[in-house]
Amino acid sequence: MIGHTDNAIEIDAPVPFVFAQTNDVRSWPELFSEYAKAEILEEGTDSVTFRLTMHPDEQGREWAWVSTRAWDTSTWTVRSRRVEKGPFEFMNITWTFEELAPDRTRMRWVQDFEMKEGAPLDTAGMTERINANTAVQMDLIKDRLERRRRTVVGFHDVPANRRRGGDLRAMVSPATSGSTSGFCGAVRLAPGEKVTEHYHPYSEEYLFVATGELRVELDGEPMAVGAEQALLIPRDVRHRLVNEGDAEVLAVFQLSPLAPRPELGHVDTEEYPGEAS
């Protein structure tokens, strides 16, 4: 007898955000209630092999197994299977993600499996257990992902981007909050530091200097932007930010709309002279 379950839930978040968050296997102990640990064994650009360890059961036993999952962003589909099958003859799961609205996603899990002879539960019993647990886990994921979209993000909560100089952090973005029309962040520049020249082919940039004073060059034309002043940087305009003062500069930026893909958002027109990190 083959077991089959089919469950879905609607989440108030964009498809790319839900897809990325649920494919981040490292974070599963914070996303699901049943997993104590997730260990990555092998990772590719569109696949991962990992070991999951559950919280101890009533007898203090820790159950663990190895699975693989592979995903396709062109169809928003993930296929997963158990490598270490335990009580299963096989266990395969297909995850699909459907855009219902720009900020609403239908997440569906279809699970097909068969139990080994002598397993603690037969296939019918496991089907009942999976259906009950899936509803619990989907409700948790919905709640946690929707809460993440409303989370306050601090400057040091996200990694630094130093590829163009300075200490730049994209704080509210598609990755952190599921934003769909733009992103914002901040950059700190020590005296003498600069952000090398580049332009944005798809986005306008809105720059606000919170502290200090910046020299901003737009297509080679310099201008001073002081504390509590703002500047529009139109799309396709080459720009460079330089701190010529004696104090640190803190500037806030926003870009909108988003480029079709993240790697298309910036075009560099000069090389950063320091070591990238």
135 and 173: one domain?
no
Q: Is 213 domain-assigned? A: yes
Q: Pick from 114, 129, 148: which residue ends a domain?
A: 148
63 and 126: one domain?
yes
Domain that holds residue 202: 155-268
pLDDT per residue as tens digits for the range 89-142: 999 999 999 999 999 999 999 999 999 998 989 999 999 999 999 999 999 999
Phi and psi of 48, rounded to 5°? -155, 145
24 and 54: one domain?
yes
Which pLDDT value is given to residue 276? 45
225 and 261: one domain?
yes
Q: What is the DSSP letter of 161?
A: B
pLDDT per residue as tens digits for the range 188-211: 999 999 999 999 999 999 999 999
The residue-averaged pLDDT of 70-81 equals 97
187 and 143: one domain?
no
7 and 29: one domain?
yes
Better-scored residue on pLDDT, 274 or 268: 268
Residue 133 structure tokens: 């647990």
Which pLDDT value is given to residue 273? 72
Q: Which residue has the tokens 């509590």?
A: 228
CATH of the domain at 226: 2.60.120.10
Better-scored residue on pLDDT, 233 or 61: 233
Q: Is 234 domain-assigned? A: yes
Which pLDDT value is given to residue 182? 96
Residue 217, classified by CB atoms within 10 Å of its CB into exposed (0-12), middle (13-18) or buried (19+), is middle
111 and 144: one domain?
yes
Q: Is 275 domain-assigned? A: no
| Beta strands per DSSP E along the chain | 3-11, 35-43, 47-54, 64-72, 77-82, 88-101, 104-115, 167-172, 183-189, 194-199, 204-211, 214-218, 221-225, 229-233, 239-242, 249-256, 267-268
8 and 140: one domain?
yes
Q: Is 277 domain-assigned? A: no
95 and 228: one domain?
no
201 and 245: one domain?
yes
pLDDT per residue as tens digits for the range 149-186: 999 999 999 999 999 999 999 999 999 999 999 999 99
pLDDT per residue as tens digits for the range 10-62: 999 999 999 999 999 999 999 999 999 999 999 999 999 999 999 998 888 88
212, pLDDT greater than 80: yes
185 and 140: one domain?
no
Which pLDDT value is given to residue 57? 81
161 and 27: one domain?
no
Q: Pick from 148, 183, 209: which residue ends a domain?
A: 148
The residue-averaged pLDDT of 228-248 equals 97
CATH of the domain at 20: 3.30.530.20
Helix (H) or strand (E) holding 130: helix 123-148
Q: Is 276 domain-assigned? A: no
CA distance 242 to 142: 43
Contact present, 221 and 258 (Cβ < 8 Å): no
pTM listed for this prediction = 0.85
Report how many domains make up the chain: 2
Residue 277 confidence class, pLDDT cut points 50, 70, 90:
very low
Q: Pick from 109, 133, 148: which residue ends a domain?
A: 148
Give the CA angle between residues 67, 262, 259 to the nearest 5°: 135
Which pLDDT value is given to residue 77? 98
Q: Is 224 domain-assigned? A: yes
